[in-house]
Structure 1
Amino acid sequence: MKVITNKGLLVLAILSPILSVAQLKQIQKGTMIYPKTKSIAIKDNYFGTEVTDPYRWLEDDQSEETKAWVIAQNEVTQKYLSQIPYRNAIKERLTHLMDYEKYSQPFKEGVYTYFYKNTGLQNQSLLYRQKDGEDAEIFLDPNTFSKDATTSLSGIDFSKDGSLCAYQLSVGGSDWTSVVVMKTDDKSVVGDTLKDVKFSGIAWQGNEGFYYSSYDKPVAGSQLSGLTQYHKLYFHKLGTSQKEDVLIFGGEKTPRRYVGAELTEDERYLIISAANTTSGNELYIRDLNQPDSEIISVVDNFDQNHSIIDNIGSKLYIYTNLNAPNGRIVTVDAADPKPSKWKELIKETSNVLSPSTGGGKLFANYIVDAVSKVLQYDMEGNLEHEIELPGLGTAVGFRGKKTEKEIFYTFTSYVYPTTIFKYVVSNGSSFLYKKSGVDFDPLMYESKQLFYKSKDGTKVPVIITYKKGIPLNGKNPTVLYGYGGFNISLTPAFSTSVVSLLEQGGIYAVANLRGGGEYGENWHIMGTKLQKQNVFDDFIAAAEFLIAEKYTSSDYLAIMGGSNGGLLVGAVMTQRPELFKVAFPAVGVLDMLRYHKFTSGAGWAYDYGTSEDSKEMFEYLYKYSPVHALKEGIKYPATLVTTADHDDRVVPAHSFKFAATLQKDQGGKAPVLISIQTNAGHGAGKPTDKAIEEIADKWAFMFYNMGIEYKAVK
């Protein structure tokens, strides 16, 4: 093996040669040969307990040694996948299913209506615009931003009159963006491009400039993994240098991990939200009608979640879960906006509320057992309409400016392709605007919601989707998907990747686990910190339910999840390895003792706690942390770990260390592979071709390890 020296660092130039015919035969027999991953004796002491971390060197994702390891692992993975005879057939089918026109909901800015459109297989959707009575024209084509289409449009915001816009560019899926300001009439660029912006919207103040948020960029060499602690809100005045931008909030005086800003539609109030974790926020306002006005506190603690959703003059409309875990809407005068002065407008119900405004109305979008129910209210809180939806599914939208008489929403479910509707505010009627062109017959499939009991007796919903008429004999290839964290709700949504599974007689099951937001803040809290095991128990119970009801069996059951869902998969496959045949932990949080030391990970402590909080919290995390829960000699499921080299949210070191440990510890013949996409991030902005390849690889891997032959679909 050739060894080279780079700036004093010993680097393995070649970790694994091209696989030979003999090695391929060993793969086919179930005896995997993995790249050698060196082990370094690193130990940490947590409250008297020594914990080894032999693969910590993989945390340096910019080192030549780590890059060589990535190349070697990808080589083994691709060699394994390439010998699956129907891999290309799956890819071709997915390509066909995704080759149809896709539209976003339209939105109005100035004299134009804007919308996103993808003709079918374009890597990035294009932003179009049109005036009434005229043909649509391309406004921005992100496919031209880079040769390989890995530079994406991550956001765009317009000034109130629509004459200016600021759009954000993400390179390789990174959360770090640059901001380009442009005149919308002739598309000429205004001023210099802003650099190093992260987790930010753009809030315009007239045509003078805008507010945005960012962190101090980590030092060179750690841009993708360095800790991003303190968010800062700036005002950028057009025509000036970014160096001259004025700090509005954050910094040394008010250090906060997350800071965001927006303006009310009339641009009278600047609204600032500040938080240190992913749940609970402070709320501030500034009256921009008053020169040099102070920033006033509305809520001065992080105990609950709040947002200002509208105003009429000085009357503020606030969404809050203060004293209302499922959410409510209150009003208050901006002159004295503290919670003791709030007046209830729309009361809390037994269902979780997600409000929006449009056409001068309030829309209360409720989650009822994971599906949508939408009510329209006037600004005095009087109920006007319940929106008649096409069925049980997810409705999103119902947003627009006060003057708009028609707004839009989309409706979807696991068997209802995403469809856009136009909604008439005055009478509550809906009209079909854009129907999906996907090659799918919903009459051939069914999707139903069932309830099962978790380990502690808690009732948990699961939605199961499959082709009508399949036998419930325990032999159906089944994917169980979950998330269970950060107050995020999994509601029904159509997916062409799922269709390609259902066509093969497969079953897709989504469990609404504790830790999510389907039943409000109480449901969320029951899956956090020292109660996180509830989430894993819920997922395991879902698997046992599917097996007991003969939908599938352990030989045909795969589990899938991404990010926090990757943690979920990693935890349950280490706790109950015999229960699953295949596991797909994607961009997962897998080292629970060190997650808070990278990028914005410290902000996740509300859900997880940290290994430094207390001995009790450390021991709890250590017990379920997937990297540390692996045991040598255990027969683990066939596992395909997926991550990306530019993931600067959940750094790829989590997946690197988990895959290396699992490859070492695997006691069975099932393969342990890791696929590391290059020039890709946590998932946003991923080109269509990369998405198709990733899905095809997963289905091929799953079918192959279940011993199922893929049937060509005509």
Structure 2
Amino acid sequence: MRTVVTTGIRSALAGVSLGAGIAAGAAGLSYPETPRKPVIDLYHGVEVTDPYRWLEATDTPAVEAWVAQQNALTRSQLDPLPSRAAIVGELKTLFGSAPVTRRQLHYAGGRLFAMKSQPPANQPKLVVLTDPMDMATEKTIVDPNVLNPKGTTAIDWYVPSLDGRLVAVSLSENGSEDGTLHLFEVATGRQLEDVVPRVQYPTGGGSAAWTPDGKGLYYTRYPQGQERPPADANFYQQVWYHQIGTPIAQDKYVIGQEFPRVAETFLSTTEDGRYLLADVAYGDGGDHAFYLRGPGQTAWTRLADFADGVRSVVLGRDGRWYAIVLKGSPRGRVVAGSLDAPSLAKAKLLVPESEMTVSAVTPATSRLYLEYLAGGPQELHAFTLDGRPLGRIGAEAVATAMAGPTLEGDELLFASQSYVSPLAWYRYRPTSQQPDPAPVKTPLSEAPRDVDLGDVEVRREFATSKDGTKVPVNIVFKKGLKLDGKSPLLLTGYGGFSIPMQPRFSLRTAFWLRHGGVFVVANLRGGGEFGEEWHVQGNLTRKQNVFDDFIASAQYLIDKGYTSPARLAIEGGSNGGLLMGAVLTQRPEMFRAVVGHVGVYDMLRVELSPNGAFNVSEFGSVKDPAQFKALHAYSPYHRVVEGTAYPSVFLLTGMHDGRVEPHNTLKMAARLQAASTSGRPVLLRVAGDAGHGQGMALSSMIEQDADVFAFLFDQLGMK
């Protein structure tokens, strides 16, 4: 299951003298003893040595002891820093008084459901409102902070019944995303006895959809008991049906036996529940198949196969399905067809391909709302149901506008945010009397307190990559910045899985800016910013383009005087952690400090892990000679060279990460610690109560952020 770890800056600190810090004593750091136990693998005639294979056995006493020693070393270096205690205090104040936000909105039974974040609570809770404009109508349904005061129980996702009477909720522990489905009454918050295990896992995610009468639901299900060998426990996702009030053992198989081993299935229905849609992704590379079942039917119609280039399908109120098609139109065209006689071949073209990329379609009663990516920023546009354009909704520049749920008629809730404007929800209510009204801001999200970005400027400039490709760089800084190369700058990127890096408001960014930092997001190939061609130019054997784009972005920022190598830090997570590992091994002299979260570093063995198998369609496989050659050429773990002066490095992971095996980070840290001659630290932080980042308790996030920014302030000489 693909993911992105957003690395917008959450905090920084001013007015504190950091003293000598880690850097002065780095040459004398005594790293834990890490024996080399070489294992040699043969790939297509090429011998590859892995000196730290033993660190992959993370549940053995030897590795557990080594991790404890690494954590102790990191604590001994970070805790004494004069900055850290002050950063912790500031973060607790910042996030403890952070604004209330509501996200993941659903509309059902005339009520609005939402996930509500209300710091200092560790986890968001599930609430329901009878009026989205009146917060007094809000009521809590499920609060994980009450279920588990430790703050380590999280809601993975939820689905309300069509009448809004019940809600299905996937709950998991310690950031594992290993979810169990629970059912709750909306009116009382009472939990039903029905509990369905293994509906969610990081590999393929999870989903559920209700029947029209609310007496049963369809759900995704991973193998149970002895159905599959242990190696396949988190594969072969299928769809099953549960009747409320009956034993789980009586649940019935629905579809999925013919799906691939790496299927990722998402379920949805029409608003009346008569039609059920199964969106089946083939791993994480972007290929989808769609299956539709109508009222009274047991057979499914395959609406589109993996080779048809259909990226998404949504079910409308008007008896039609709507789809975004990429085949022959890499930036997407919108087509529609009948639910009663579904046929992609007979679909009608509604909205042709344009210069912008269609990222989502939301049908209402007489309108279509389309989200358009414009290279990173995202716009929201309205169309008639036959594809006639009605204009853009909202007009903030370099922002992200996202459609939420439709309410009655053509009424829409949508969100907008930017690097300098916090997330805000708006109500858009077109009528025959007022077809193009101004959106009205709702109270669903609050503005942050004590954060003023009125003196912040955002520039969107373009670096030139190695092959001449123009790469957008979004530069956020306080007005009056001197382009003298002396500013501390934090650069981030992702570049994979067709995921765009979009403008987002972040308290981390706000405080980094407040204290003299510059924040930059690079829109790299491999993402979805400019459509499918942009994506495929950075996947499989073309992955090096992503790293070239990032290096070019860094060089541009140096050449233009925004920063210098001595003041340049980079940060990324997951696939962005791979990016950090690749560029630090390819251009170690370019960066002063590197922070990698839950990264993929051993590209030759990633496909052997459960979620790594889902990533093969994006990264490639060592089984293919050409793909092996590309993987081996950039694999960070294998590109570490003994006797190289590497920058300061801080690698972080969680022991419950089901998306990227933690041993990637352990092995990379070991190799860098043994190889680097710069005298700069290579620190490792392994969290025992976290996974890939999803579901992490707020208190744990604060401690992690404090470590990251104490490290960065020390390494960049920020005072």
The corresponding residue for 1:418 is 423
Q: 1:212 touches 1:260 (CA, 8 Å); kept in 2?
A: no
Matched residues, percent identical?
Answer: 34
Aligned AA (2:142): L
Alpha-carbon deviation of 1:327?
A: 1.2
Specify every segment of 5 or more residues in structure 1 that has no aligned partner in the other structure, as ranges: 1-23, 710-714
- Whether 1:588 and 2:590 are equivalent positions in the alignment is no
Q: How many angstroms apart in 1 are the aligned matches of 2:449 and 2:56?
A: 42
Match of 2:629 in 1: 619
Structure 2 SS opposite 1:86: helix
8 A Cα contact 1:307 1:318, kept in partner: yes
How far off is 1:690 after superposition? 1.5
Counterpart for residue 479 of structure 2: 468
Give 1:83's aligned residue: 80
1:517-666 → structure 2 map (5 Å cutoff): 517-614=528-625, 616-666=626-676
Kindly state the Cα deviation for residue 625 of structure 1 after the two structures are TM-superposed.
Answer: 0.4
Distance 1:217 1:487, change over 3 A: farther
One-letter identity of the residue aligned with 2:717: G
Contact 1:358 1:398 in 2 (8 A): no
Kindly provide the CA deviation profile for residues 653-698 of structure 1, in whole angstroms up to 9, marking residues without a partner as x.
Answer: 1111111111111121010011111121111111111112222211
- AA partner of residue 254 (structure 2): I
Do residues 296 (structure 1) and 301 (structure 2) align?
A: yes
TM-score (norm 2): 0.90
Q: CA deviation at 1:388?
A: 2.5
Q: Say if 2:700 is the partner of 1:690.
A: yes
Give 3-state SS (helix, strand or coil) of 2:194's partner. coil
CA distances 1:186-228 after superposition (whole Å, capped 9, x unpaired): 22322331112221121111212111213226999x99x9773
Q: Is the 8 A contact 2:495 2:527 kept in 1?
A: yes
Q: Which runs of structure 2 are paired with 1:269-418 in the superposition (5 Å)?
A: 269-278=275-284, 279-287=286-294, 289-292=295-298, 294-302=299-307, 304-312=309-317, 314-357=319-362, 359-360=364-365, 361-401=367-407, 403-404=408-409, 406-418=411-423
| 1:161 aligned counterpart, secondary structure | coil
Larger relative contact order (Cα-Cα within 8 Å, sequence gap ≥ 6): 2
Q: How does 1:466-545 map onto structure 2 within 5 Å?
A: 466-545=477-556
Q: For residue 147 of structure 1, what is the amino acid of its counterpart? A: P
Distance 1:524 1:168 in 2: 31
Matches within 5 A, 1:193-208: 193-198=195-200, 199-206=205-212, 207-208=214-215
CA separation in 2, counterparts of 1:226 and 1:693? 36
Q: Deviations over 1:476-507 (max 9, x none)?
A: 11111000000000011011111221112111
Unpaired runs of 5+ residues, structure 2, are 1-20
The one-letter code of the counterpart of 2:302 is: S
Distance verdict in 2 for CA 1:334–1:109, change over 3 Å: closer
| Whole-Å separation in 1 of the counterparts to 2:420 and 2:496 | 25
| Contact 1:94–1:496 (Cα < 8 Å) also in 2 | no
Query: Where does residue 55 of structure 2 map in the other structure?
Result: 58
Name the counterpart of 1:156. Answer: 158
Q: Distance in 2 between matches of 1:269 and 1:405?
A: 21
Q: Does 1:671 align with 2:676?
A: no
1:385, 1:428 within 8 Å by CA — same for their partners in 2? no
In structure 2, C-alpha distance between the alignment counterparts of 1:613 and 1:244, rounded to whole Å: 43
Q: Answer whether contact 2:323 2:335 (CA < 8 A) is retained.
A: yes
Q: Is the 8 A contact 1:358 1:399 kept in 2?
A: no
Asked if structure 2 preserves the Cα contact closer than 8 Å seen for 1:309 and 1:319, the reply is no
Contact 2:22–2:681 (CA under 8 A) maintained in structure 1 = no
Query: Helix, strand or coil for the counterpart of 1:588?
Result: coil
Q: 1:697-708 residue pairs with structure 2 within 5 A?
A: 697-708=707-718
Which runs of structure 2 are paired with 1:135-174 in the superposition (5 Å)?
135-174=137-176
The C-alpha deviation readout for 1:527-548, integer Å capped at 9, x for no partner, is 0111110000000000000000
Q: Secondary structure of 1:345's match?
A: strand
Q: Tell me, in whole angstroms, the C-alpha distance in 2 between the residues paired with 1:304 and 1:56.
A: 39
Q: Which residue matches 2:130?
A: 131
- What's the C-alpha RMSD, in Å, of the aligned pairs? 2.3
1:175 Cα deviation (Å)?
Answer: 2.1
2:442 match: secondary structure: strand
Cα distance per residue 1:82-141 (max 9 Å; x no partner): 121111212222233322222215543325333343343221123333335754332221
Cα distance in 2, alignment partners of residues 241 and 323 from structure 1? 48
Report what 2:257 is aligned to.
251
Amino acid at match of 1:586: H
Q: Confirm or deny: 8 A CA contact 2:175 2:657 kept in the other structure.
A: yes
Q: Say whether the 8 Å CA contact 1:234–1:248 is kept in structure 2.
A: yes
3-state SS of paired residue (1:66): helix
SS of aligned partner of 2:491: strand
> How is 1:82-101 mapped onto 2 (pairs within 5 angstroms)?
82-98=79-95, 99-101=97-99
- C-alpha deviation, 1:62, in angstroms: 2.1
Corresponding residue number in structure 1 for 2:15: none
Q: Is the CA contact 1:219–1:226 (under 8 Å) kept in the aligned structure 2? A: no
Deviation at 1:516, TM superposition (A): 0.4
Q: Is the 8 A contact 2:488 2:567 kept in 1?
A: yes
Q: Which residue of 2 aligns with 1:192?
A: 194
Which stretch of the first structure deviates more once superposed, 522-531 or 85-94? 85-94
Q: Describe the shift of the 1:69–1:707 C-alpha distance in structure 2 as closer, same or farther (beyond 3 A).
A: same
> How many angstroms apart in 1 are the aligned matches of 2:111 and 2:300?
34
Work out the number of aligned pairs and report it: 680
Query: Residue 30 of structure 2 aligns with which residue?
Result: 33
C-alpha distance in 2 between matches for 1:645 and 1:266: 42
Please identify, of 25-34 and 307-316, the stretch whose mean Cα deviation from structure 2 is larger.
25-34
1:513 deviates by: 0.3
